[in-house]
Structure 1
């Protein structure tokens, strides 16, 4: 499916790039912005994995693979879904969203209900997971924006929406099951 013999091609030197169907678009095209931000998210997840162990690291590895699936989905316009190709287009699937929901529900049972908003921070892993959460939200916003201009797989948006929730819950777990969460204190610094 993927064969990379040469890393640079020079084909984007004038500010355009190829989508999955070889259509050339500007590098600032909403589709490129969406899947480029998914790629950025994958890199941020890689940083979080430097601090993760066991089941959390395994889950983050699955998410990284899902993010490549998501990038592949977003880079191939939905209108080309019936085009002939050597392999079927890779699209996000409801089961990937359901897996996140199941994990969120299981992890959330170990946490006390929140009585304030959580500030990004705490343990190094939690801080990185909050960074993942915010990049995931940006990827979601860009993907929703893309959906106003082009037909996209709705599971792509659903996945990103659940993923940011997953990062939030796992960030709380990484903060000693929420006991080390840094809580917002409204107006605490007013004079």
Structure 2
């Protein structure tokens, strides 16, 4: 159980932060940027949920919880060292990725194929989901860069890749099952 009785600690005043294993790194470290951007994605999902209801809201709530799992995973370096840890660190799983894929497939079944690229917009929910998509895509790019330098959980990177796809398909659902999508018209303003 997490107990937060005091919010500020002053330990980061010098520009460092603690990782999940207790080590300290610069607040500008790629690992911190990665899980910070996952947290930013989570905040954007919270904004989208202001416009969601029913199954969509429930799915977004699951994603918010997964994003906290992802942050916990990313803030703990060296997954291969987990066996030596005092307690089992929380890691992303293939099952979380699989769930996103099943949800994408189910939503996509309700949609007609696209004949043009979609501009971010339409309903308020769709616009917010597009923002979620772009922020999660940035988190994914950071995770890929981190994986090139340090060990990361493969499922975490895969989850971020699927998540941006999930947001895209969900945005189309939010636009009256794609009927209210805002389509790109190449060269329209020439």
Task: Tell me the TM-score normalized by structure 1.
Answer: 0.97
1:82 matched to 2:83? The reply is: yes
Per-residue displacement from partner, 1:18-74 (whole Å, max 9, x unpaired)?
Answer: 000010000000000000000111000000000000000000000000000000000
Tell me the secondary structure at the aligned position of residue 83 of structure 2.
Answer: coil
The answer for the alignment partner of 1:111 in structure 2 is 111
Give 1:80 deviation, angstroms.
3.5
Tell me the secondary structure at the aligned position of residue 25 of structure 2.
Answer: strand
Structure 1: any 5+ residue segments left out of the alignment? none
Give 1:3 deviation, angstroms.
2.1
The answer for the alignment partner of 2:150 in structure 1 is 150
The answer for the alignment partner of 2:55 in structure 1 is 55
Per-residue displacement from partner, 1:123-163 (whole Å, max 9, x unpaired)?
Answer: 00000000000000000000101001101000001000000
The answer for the alignment partner of 1:183 in structure 2 is 183
Structure 2: any 5+ residue segments left out of the alignment? none
Give 1:2 deviation, angstroms.
2.0
Contact kept in structure 2, 1:140 and 1:160, CA below 8 Å? yes
Per-residue displacement from partner, 1:83-104 (whole Å, max 9, x unpaired)?
Answer: 231x311000000000000010
Contact kept in structure 2, 1:21 and 1:80, CA below 8 Å? no
The answer for the alignment partner of 2:124 in structure 1 is 124
Task: Tell me the TM-score normalized by structure 2.
Answer: 0.98
The answer for the alignment partner of 2:21 in structure 1 is 21
Give 1:4 deviation, angstroms.
1.2
Give 1:82 deviation, angstroms.
2.2
The answer for the alignment partner of 2:169 in structure 1 is 169
Question: Segments of 4+ in structure 1 off by > 2 A?
Answer: none
In the comparison of the two structures, how many residue pairs are matched?
Answer: 189
Tell me the secondary structure at the aligned position of residue 31 of structure 2.
Answer: helix
Give 1:5 deviation, angstroms.
1.6
* Aligned Cα root-mean-square deviation (Å): 0.8
